[in-house]
Structure 1
Amino acid sequence: MTALEELIMKKIMFYCQYLAGMGHLVRSTEIIRSLVKDFEVCLINGGQLVPGFKFPQDSQVVYLPAVWEDGNELKPVDSSLTIEEVKESRKQKILTTLEEFQPDCIITECFPFSKHKLKFELVPMLKQARSSEQEITIICSLRDLIMTQPMSEEARTRRQQKVCKLINRYYDLVFFHGDSNLLRLEDSFPSVDNLNCEVYYTGYVAPASKDNLLPHTTKDIIGLNQSEPTIVASVGGGRHGYPLLEAVIAASPILKASLPHKIHCFAGPFMTESEFQKLQQAAAERDNVIVRRFTPRLTEYMEKADLSVSLGGYNTVMNILKTKVRSLLLPSLNEHQSDEQSIRAEKLAGSGILDLLRRDDLEPSILAEKIISSLKKEVPQNSFELNGAKATSLRLKELLHSKVTV
């Protein structure tokens, strides 16, 4: 960076909303962790707070009144407020932040390819940015699979037309956080040729190294310093992960008898308290199982593990690719969710990188057999591009610093 660029540090406002799990939050903060080295970053966080989750230290975080998605309905996390009250409050807070922060760049995570329920606040933000006297670069940060919900061809065409209209009206660039050797944007968005802006492939956004994490607590590293064989079972945010962890705990006596392992289960911050208590009670009868809600060091557990058993969200898959751990992966059990997890998981299973689980495999004896079989396999290898956060930062430096004028 030149002396002039250091003097004029560019500002990036990064909008992130997670409605079911916490995958969007994890990916966004991994990107921000790379951005804060060269930019002043303000994260607009619209999701439910995650106890123990650590944001990049040098970023500013603005918390909107949180919302989540129950089925297909948007709901406030604070049940004392109506959804209309929350919508108006969120919109005004975003517009105020835009006015006060005065960003050189706005990044919207996934919108307008998804999250259309949030148009009430995002379109006003985009309009205000485009009407500003300041030149603001507007970018979409996009995961590798989008618009995978079942719908008619007519509905899919209409949705793609709406996306193209919004992109072409407001956006300068789309960051596609995937590897073209596995998935391309046109695989799930055939209208890509109708976009008038650049689509930049960053590679996958895999988790940062341990050196980039904040200091841990003793609770964060339970079992990490032990030498015994380990299985890690995780379900992302946890709203839909209870059946998988229940099955793992039920299979644990079979595993202990034939192939002893310590099993670390992470239930996720959004699993209901009643489900979490049931898991803890079941684990209390199993001396080879530990159940906790959340760890910020999941990557380290997976590095140590002989096997990962998990749901199939983007960030869990990134952990698998990063650590090269043997993996059993169950695509989401959420009936309202898209086929995104299944499509990605089947692609990777076809490449021999992981093994798939189906709902019928959750019967304890079948699951135990699957786990034992997976543990006997060779450790998988892959050569996917996993430095998407760094590539995003480098492209933004090229793009924004080229606009520096004396």
Structure 2
Amino acid sequence: MKKILFYCQYLAGMGHLVRSTEIIRSLVKDFQVCLVIGGEPITGFTVPSGAEVVYLPALREDAGELIAFGQSLESIKARRIERLLLVCDQFQPDCVITECFPFSKYKMSFELVPLLEWAKAAQVKVVCSLRDLVMTQKMSEKGMVRKKARIHDQICRYYDLVLYHCDRNLQPLDACFPTAADLDCEVFYTGYVAQAPSLMLQEKIQGPSIVASVGGGRDGYPLLKAVIGASPLLTDAIPHHIYAFAGPFMPVSQFEALQALAATKSNLTLRRFTPNLISSLLQADLSISLGGYNTTMNVLRTHVRSLIVPSPSVDQADEQRSRAALLAQRNIVDLLTARQLSPYALAYAILRRLAQPKPTHAINLEGARNASERLRSLLYKAPSKRQITTAA
């Protein structure tokens, strides 16, 4: 059985980990997989059975800077490089997958370039697992040119394949990375990575419900505060109960403040985290979220009505707003702004969306399965380079 080492680093939220583990859920059927995790461990989050998991000393990002836990950043960096290369020597993968790098996560190049050099010397295949939107951060024209040149150089130097987790009919890569056709490796459109219906382990919700979620939670306080503020206005208008999930990374002080606000709201239940959000959305009449990749995929998979208020984070707002705008144009979601987070404005938006029918679409959500099939082909017969292909 071929071996795949899958490197995943999440710095702010947990979306990259959720997407990566969903892909791994398909990979473990045909490959021996070692998942290398570089972010903070998340209580209650489970990795698919059959995959080996290795945790590097954790790093996160705050105000654009890497933050280490317990030791100096340079010490942690050195330990991570040593650990990562030791895992490679011990596991001996046939393929190395880097999640998003080199299109993003450049701060991790201190360990990823040594990993890629190891792969090159060992003559193993190298693959990039790439989400739907890249190059969303604002920067100068010169900075953008340098970044594109760096990505192009590293793709051409190290990579055999880019797995682009998107529906080509909705978001072609060249729309956000104009030089995609010049990359010296295959770009394969897998479709979006969404949880499979067979894996929706249901946690039964009683009665009509609304689900409010904010991903990892670091930027979710304003939205959940607004939802709690709007809940009394909805008590007599609709029979729905609101389930709000704060996320594992929301600061304790913010979560405790939300708990105090929610304590007297009879139609609202606040919880810290659910590892099975899609089960709640499957039973809900409405989703309210920031619009991260994985929550949006859950919305598409379950066809639940949805309100999206993009994250206030400078690093994530453009990505989330761009994705939501594409879907809002097709009447699949409603896109709200921060100005609509007053109690009355949000309550009105909730009632308006609930009055509309459930959305329909034909967006490709089989990204995990298609990625696994393409990797089987890659590792058993090498494709020619310079291709841009799409899953059937």
Q: State the 1:392 CA deviation.
A: 0.5
Hey, what's the Cα distance between the residues in 1 that align with 2:205 and 2:333? 26
**1:203 is matched with which residue: 164, 168, 191?**
191
Q: State the 1:401 CA deviation.
A: 2.1
Hey, what's the Cα distance between the residues in 2 that align with 1:117 and 1:390? 30
Give the equivalent residue in structure 2 for 1:152: 140
Q: State the 1:21 CA deviation.
A: 0.6
Secondary structure at the aligned position of 1:339 is classed as helix
Hey, what's the Cα distance between the residues in 1 that align with 2:149 and 2:324? 28
Give the equivalent residue in structure 1 for 2:389: none
Structure 2 gap segments, 5+ residues each: 383-392
Secondary structure at the aligned position of 2:109 is classed as helix
Q: State the 1:338 CA deviation.
A: 5.3
Hey, what's the Cα distance between the residues in 2 that align with 1:288 and 1:86? 46
**1:113 is matched with which residue: 103, 110, 119?**
103
Normalised TM-score (structure 2): 0.95
Question: Does the aligned pair in 1 maintain the 2:200–2:278 contact within 8 Å?
Answer: no
Give the equivalent residue in structure 2 for 1:71: 63
Give the equivalent residue in structure 1 for 2:277: 298
Give the equivalent residue in structure 1 for 2:28: 36
Say whether residues 1:130 and 2:120 are aligned partners. Answer: yes
CA RMSD of aligned residues (A): 1.2
Most deviating of 160-169 and 186-195? 186-195
Say whether residues 1:194 and 2:173 are aligned partners. Answer: no
Q: State the 1:208 CA deviation.
A: 2.6
Question: Does the aligned pair in 2 maintain the 1:24–1:109 contact within 8 Å?
Answer: yes
Hey, what's the Cα distance between the residues in 2 that align with 1:244 and 1:337? 15
Which segments of structure 1 move beyond 2 Å, counting only runs of 4 or more? 208-213, 335-338
Give the equivalent residue in structure 2 for 1:3: none
Hey, what's the Cα distance between the residues in 1 that align with 2:329 and 2:233? 29
Alpha carbons of 1:365 and 1:210: their partners in 2 closer, same or farther (altered >3 Å)? Answer: same
Q: State the 1:202 CA deviation.
A: 0.2
Hey, what's the Cα distance between the residues in 2 that align with 1:239 and 1:353? 26
Alpha carbons of 1:297 and 1:125: their partners in 2 closer, same or farther (altered >3 Å)? Answer: same
Question: Does the aligned pair in 2 maintain the 1:245–1:265 contact within 8 Å?
Answer: yes
1:3-18 to 2 correspondence within 5 Å?
9-18=1-10
Give the equivalent residue in structure 1 for 2:83: 93
Give the equivalent residue in structure 1 for 2:388: none
Give the equivalent residue in structure 2 for 1:45: 37
Give the equivalent residue in structure 1 for 2:241: 262
**1:388 is matched with which residue: 358, 367, 377?**
367
Hey, what's the Cα distance between the residues in 1 that align with 2:332 and 2:360? 7
Say whether residues 1:278 and 2:268 are aligned partners. Answer: no
Alpha carbons of 1:367 and 1:225: their partners in 2 closer, same or farther (altered >3 Å)? Answer: closer
> Identity over aligned residues, as a percent?
54
Question: Does the aligned pair in 2 maintain the 1:71–1:336 contact within 8 Å?
Answer: no
Question: Does the aligned pair in 2 maintain the 1:16–1:44 contact within 8 Å?
Answer: yes
Hey, what's the Cα distance between the residues in 2 that align with 1:10 and 1:183? 32
Give the equivalent residue in structure 1 for 2:353: 374
**1:170 is matched with which residue: 130, 149, 158?**
158
Question: Does the aligned pair in 2 maintain the 1:52–1:296 contact within 8 Å?
Answer: yes
Alpha carbons of 1:182 and 1:234: their partners in 2 closer, same or farther (altered >3 Å)? Answer: same
Question: Does the aligned pair in 2 maintain the 1:239–1:270 contact within 8 Å?
Answer: yes
**1:232 is matched with which residue: 192, 207, 211?**
211
CA-to-partner distance for each residue in 1:165-191, whole Å, 9 max, x for gaps?
000000000000000111011011111
**2:319 is matched with which residue: 340, 343, 349?**
340
What is the number of residues matched between the two proteins?
382
Secondary structure at the aligned position of 1:183 is classed as coil
Q: Which amino acid aligns with 2:189?
A: Y
Secondary structure at the aligned position of 1:258 is classed as coil
Q: State the 1:152 CA deviation.
A: 2.1
Hey, what's the Cα distance between the residues in 2 that align with 1:335 and 1:113? 18
Most deviating of 172-181 and 336-345? 336-345
Secondary structure at the aligned position of 2:369 is classed as helix
Q: State the 1:299 CA deviation.
A: 0.5
